[in-house]
């Protein structure tokens, strides 16, 4: 991913998650970048261009502060965005959907049976980064 592509992705993530998110290129890996919030790396972006279309997978681990987590509080706290909300998925107990207001944007997967660790996964299509597009 070149700098222009990373800048477009950063603009998109700032609009969707937090206006202070940054994207930093990863040394020796042109298919991966770091997601930064404040001074801390919080996750990564990987490039998928196998089928000829460029897409990006944003993966961010989320640790729950207690054994009985409030997923909405944890997700909102991680990104500092009160507009995010967690909605249970029908017939699924290991994952939930993430919405920005009424727009579906990502999935939150439970990593362990205790429910203490989760992974935020957001697929971003190249067309989402188009400034003239709807994304």
Distance CA(78)–CA(92), nearest Å, equals 23
Average pLDDT, the chain: 89
User: CA separation (Å) from 62 to 8, 16, 33, 40, 106?
Assistant: 24, 17, 18, 14, 13
Average pLDDT estimate for 55-81? 88
Closest CA to 5 of 54, 60, 52: 54
Give pTM, 2 decimals: 0.89
Return the percentage of the chain with pLDDT > 70, whole number.
94
- What confidence tier does 67 reach under pLDDT thresholds 50, 70, 90? low
pLDDT tens, residue by residue, 3-50 = 899 999 999 999 999 999 999 998 888 899 999 999 999 999 999 988
């Amino acid at each position: 991913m070149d700098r222009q592509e990373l800048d477009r992705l950063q603009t998109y993530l700032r609009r969707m998650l937090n206006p202070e998110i940054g994207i930093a290129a990863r040394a020796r890996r042109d298919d991966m970048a770091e997601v930064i919030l404040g001074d801390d790396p919080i996750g990564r972006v990987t490039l998928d261009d196998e089928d000829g279309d460029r897409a990006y997978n944003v993966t961010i681990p989320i640790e729950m502060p207690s054994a009985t987590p409030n997923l909405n509080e944890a997700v909102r706290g991680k990104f500092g965005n009160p507009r995010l909300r967690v909605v249970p998925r029908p017939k699924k107990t290991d994952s939930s959907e993430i919405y920005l207001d009424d727009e579906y944007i990502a999935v939150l997967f439970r990593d362990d049976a205790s429910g203490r660790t989760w992974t935020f996964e957001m697929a971003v299509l190249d067309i989402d980064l188009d400034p003239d597009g709807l994304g």
